[in-house]
Amino acid sequence: MAPTVLHLRSETKHLEHRSALTPTTTAELIKAGYIVNVERSPERIFDDEEFEKAGATLVPEHSWVDAPKEHIIVGLKELEEKDFPLKHVHVQFAHCYKQQAGWENVLARFPRGGGTLLDLEFLVDEHGRRVAAFGFHAGFAGAALALEVWAWQLNHSEPFPGVESYPNEDALIADVKKAVKEGVEAAGRLPRVIVIGARGRCGSGAVSALKKAGIPDENILDWDMAETAKGGPFKEITDSDIFVNCIYLTSKIPNFVNMESLQVPNRQLRVVCDVSADTTSPFTPVPIYTVATTFDKPTVPVDGLTSGPPLSVISIDHLPSLLPREASEAFSHDLLPSLLTLNDWQNSPVWARAKQLFDEKVATLPESALQK
């Protein structure tokens, strides 16, 4: 039986430096008998030569389109918005299963070409737990940026400037500590931060970043389900300087904060980091903004406030890209046991569940999307 070929494509999303495969996991796959083709990439945090040393074959950027049908295309973020049908099995985050804007056009490309989407967001074990996720580094990066925005706002009137990925965590924390020091000089105290969802992957990442940046335990309100059970809005949010939301919802609960709750006297809240970045979701517990932000423009102001300090929202949907090396290593390490079963993916429970979900979602497509 011929070995299974995995084709790692180059990412096309702006400022996306992460990778679903790393040189470390590539070496493990090759040791297990896979052939791994890696597209050269100017954006990926790992040098092309690192993959070559691991035993991969380097191929031209965007060559996945013409790869043999039986090759499995591995990526991270969504493909560019094109119309041509997709013939391969694709392993990636596609963001088209929750009826996001344009979801039908994204999803329909797979059945139109006889391809299959195995969506990384929905790879779950027998208990329904995700086998790999970027949550920890999303929370870590979000909390780090929130501290920087808090300090910037105290010392500047213009919007917080664009940011770029860091080579490693130490470099990010050094910058954050410098910013916090400047913020303390302006405010006369350290910030108070509330993290909701603090016990999960994302929330634990946020709390870790806060502590590494020098925020003491007594300044961190780490909430989870027990604390939010009474239902919001919560005064503890507007009494804090920074609110980091690490809760991702699939059904509606009372809002943690809303425009009315922000119009209170003595509001301290200056920065909200909505790590879930469910900007347009009807389930968002933070319905105070409607614009997704980017690394180029990390914040958006909350309009309509009649008193109190300015309020900035961070809602970047690929926050782990701020730490692409560590985030990729952790994610790919967790994904490796599943990747090692791709040679028989139809009979591997994790991938079979992903295929079943794909089939269910395809069945909901309007006929018009399939006729293009």
- Annotated binding residue 317: yes
- Annotated binding residue 47: no
**How many Å apart are CA 201 and CA 107, to the nearest integer?**
28
- Annotated binding residue 62: no
The question of whether 297 is a catalytic residue gets the answer: no
- Annotated binding residue 353: no
The dihedral of CA 50, 51, 55, 59: what is its sign? negative
- Annotated binding residue 129: yes
Please state, in angstroms and as integers, the Cα–Cα distance from residue 293 to each residue in 80, 162, 299, following that order. Answer: 19, 10, 6
- Annotated binding residue 323: no
- Annotated binding residue 18: no
- Annotated binding residue 215: no
- Annotated binding residue 113: no
How many Cβ atoms sit within 10 Å of the Cβ of residue 304? 9
Alpha helix (H) ranges present in the chain?
23-31, 48-53, 103-113, 135-155, 169-187, 201-212, 225-228, 235-238, 259-262, 324-339, 349-362, 367-370
Q: Check 77, 87, 90, 137 and give the catalytic one.
A: 77
Q: Are 97 and 103 contacting, i.e. CB atoms less than 8 angstroms apart?
A: yes
- Annotated binding residue 109: no
The question of whether 31 is a catalytic residue gets the answer: no
Q: Check 62, 71, 95, 333 and give the catalytic one.
A: 95
| Residue pointed to by tokens 């297990």 | 32
- Annotated binding residue 248: yes
Among the listed residues 191, 219, 206, the one whose alpha carbon sits nearest the alpha carbon of residue 142: 206
Q: Which residues are catalytic?
A: 77, 95
List binding-site positions for NAD(+). 129, 200-201, 224, 228, 248, 275, 316-319
